[in-house]
């Protein structure tokens, strides 16, 4: 019975990984739509007091441009954080799956590395 339980656990973890990958794709599509909307704001010349249509959860609302831009930008930041969180979760699930398959906790070197961001690079640059 241990084999059946171990196989069921592997399947559960693998299903979690696939679900999270699909969720990342869906969130990335939404994030790209937000980028397109912000690009539209930059390209088009709106009147200063002109209101724009905004879709919020299936409801269309007419609101001020600055408010709509702020909501879109905030949503983009939230989506980026969710995507990064899901990527970290995929890494941990992959490590768990690897541990179940190998039977040991020995990790491949460099697997948990994270890329540098602009703010990290800015701290390295000499500002003299």
Domains with residue ranges and CATH for the chain:
2-124 (1.10.287.370)
Question: Can you tell me the distance from the alpha carbon of 59 to that of 51, in angstroms, rounded to the nearest whole number?
Answer: 16
28-41 pLDDT, tens per residue?
Answer: 999 999 999 999 98
Question: Can you tell me the distance from the alpha carbon of 45 to that of 65, in angstroms, rounded to the nearest whole number?
Answer: 11
Residue 67: enclosing H or E segment and its boundaries? helix 65-102
* Closest residue by Cα to residue 9 from 97, 113, 108: 97
Compute the C-alpha angle 71/72/73, nearest 5°: 90
- Token readout for 95 is 């490590």
Would you say 76 and 84 are in contact if contact means Cβ atoms under 8 Å apart? Answer: no
β-pair partners for 51: 64
42-63 pLDDT, tens per residue?
Answer: 888 888 788 999 988 889 999 9
| pLDDT given at position 127 | 58
With 0.85 as the threshold, say if the pTM is over it: no
| pLDDT given at position 48 | 77
Question: Can you tell me the distance from the alpha carbon of 86 to that of 74, in angstroms, rounded to the nearest whole number?
Answer: 18
65-116 pLDDT, tens per residue?
Answer: 989 999 999 999 999 999 999 999 999 999 888 888 877 666 666 666 777 7
Has residue 128 got a pLDDT over 70?
A: no
Residue partners of 8: CB distance under 8 A and separation at least 6: none
Has residue 121 got a pLDDT over 90?
A: no
* Closest residue by Cα to residue 76 from 115, 50, 41: 41
Q: How many CB atoms lie within 10 A of CB 69?
A: 16
């Amino acid at each position: 019975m241990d084999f059946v339980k171990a196989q069921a656990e592997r399947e559960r973890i693998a299903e979690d990984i696939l679900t999270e990958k699909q969720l990342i794709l869906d969130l990335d599509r939404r994030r790209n739509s937000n980028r397109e909307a912000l690009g539209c704001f930059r390209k088009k010349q709106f009147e200063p007091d002109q209101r724009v249509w905004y879709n919020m959860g299936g409801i269309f609302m007419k609101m001020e441009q600055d408010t709509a831009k702020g909501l879109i930008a905030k949503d983009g930041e939230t989506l980026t954080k969710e995507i990064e969180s899901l990527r970290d979760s995929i890494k941990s699930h992959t490590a768990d799956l690897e541990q179940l398959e190998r039977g040991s906790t020995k990790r491949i070197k460099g697997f948990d590395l994270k890329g540098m961001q602009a703010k990290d690079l800015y701290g390295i640059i000499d500002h003299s």
